[in-house]
């Protein structure tokens, strides 16, 4: 459904919906109904959403089947068979989802994207891959921090803005992204407007001052040197 393109125009509701999803996933989840019989992932997700609906809550969850097909060929993640342990009886919903996806034959995880939970191949959830997604958004004098929140909500990428940069976080951003630019390029342009830099980590994206970015990149490179040396010796 999502593939390589994240469609739709950013609005102030996107980030709010993502925060609401995170709050719901932090709530304790009753495993009792799930421990009675084995089921496949499709049945589990249906029951999972029904339990929230019974409380008057809407928690949409989908699997990006096209992404799994692209990575693994004829693989249908909804057919994954689940068997739940008898204990514990309750756990946070987010931990339940993580546990469920460890049962997948192919590595899988989930992103909070577009106000819903989207199950994707684990390799597609890395910062490196998410930066390739194209984005469409219209920012008209919006503070940088809000623009970053909306890009995060649209793509599922974790984007953290250095909290020490309060003034620059409020920098008004005016830009129109017409679905012909990648998240990575968009971040470079928007942060440049505020005289900031992007640092890509293994599991997230950090926006900070040029000096801090340079220091972090140097530290990251120093950490990679021993790993490169180990790989060289093992050959």
Tokens of 10: 């950013």
Virtual CA dihedral for 110, 118, 123, 76, nearest 10 degrees?
A: 110
69 with 168, same domain: the answer is no
pLDDT at 128: 94
pLDDT at 224: 73
62 with 118, same domain: the answer is yes
pLDDT at 223: 81
**Residue 6 located in a structural domain:** no
**Residue 235 located in a structural domain:** no
Per-residue H/E/C for 60-114 = CEEECHHHHHHHHCCCCHHHCEECCCCCCCEEEHHHHHHHHHCCCCCCEEEEEEC
113 with 209, same domain: the answer is no
Tokens of 178: 């017409």
**Residue 103 located in a structural domain:** yes
Residues 84-95 have pLDDT tens digits of 777 788 899 999
Whole-angstrom distance, CA of residue 80 vs CA of residue 130: 25
**Residue 186 located in a structural domain:** yes
Which of 70, 95, 122 marks a domain boundary?
A: 122
Domain holding 168: CATH number? 3.55.50.30
**Residue 43 located in a structural domain:** yes
30 with 85, same domain: the answer is yes
44 with 111, same domain: the answer is yes
195 with 214, same domain: the answer is yes
Q: Are 151 and 22 in contact (CB under 8 A)?
A: no
Query: What is the average pLDDT across 9-16?
Result: 65
pLDDT at 189: 96
Tokens of 102: 């460890």
**Residue 104 located in a structural domain:** yes
For the cut 60, the answer to whether the pLDDT of residue 15 exceeds it is yes
| Confidence class for position 34, pLDDT limits 50, 70, 90 | confident
159 with 107, same domain: the answer is no
Q: How many domains does the chain have?
A: 2
Q: Which domain holds residue 142?
A: 130-222
Whole-angstrom distance, CA of residue 83 vs CA of residue 40: 9
Least confident range of 15-19, 118-122, 185-189: 15-19
pTM of the model: 0.85
**Residue 232 located in a structural domain:** no
């Amino acid at each position: 459904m999502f593939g390589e393109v994240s469609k739709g125009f950013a609005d102030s509701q996107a980030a709010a919906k993502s925060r609401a999803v995170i709050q719901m996933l932090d709530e304790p989840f009753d495993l009792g109904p799930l421990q009675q019989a084995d089921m496949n992932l499709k049945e589990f997700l249906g029951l999972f959403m029904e339990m929230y609906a019974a409380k008057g809550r809407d928690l949409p969850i989908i699997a990006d089947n096209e992404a799994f097909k692209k990575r693994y060929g004829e693989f249908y993640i909804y057919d994954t068979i689940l068997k739940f342990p008898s204990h514990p009886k309750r756990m946070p919903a987010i931990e339940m989802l993580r546990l469920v996806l460890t049962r997948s034959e192919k590595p899988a995880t989930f992103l909070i994207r577009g106000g819903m939970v989207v199950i994707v191949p684990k390799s597609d959830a890395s910062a490196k891959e998410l930066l390739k997604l194209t984005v469409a958004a219209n920012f008209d004098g919006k503070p940088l921090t809000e623009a970053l929140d909306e890009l995060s909500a649209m793509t599922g990428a974790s984007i953290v803005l250095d909290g020490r940069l309060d003034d620059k976080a409020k920098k008004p951003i005016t830009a129109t992204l017409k679905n012909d630019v990648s998240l990575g390029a968009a971040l470079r342009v928007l942060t440049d407007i505020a005289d900031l830099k992007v640092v890509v980590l293994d599991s997230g994206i950090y926006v900070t001052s040029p000096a801090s970015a340079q220091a972090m990149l140097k530290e990251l490179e120093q950490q990679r040197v021993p790993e490169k040396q180990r790989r060289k010796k093992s050959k």
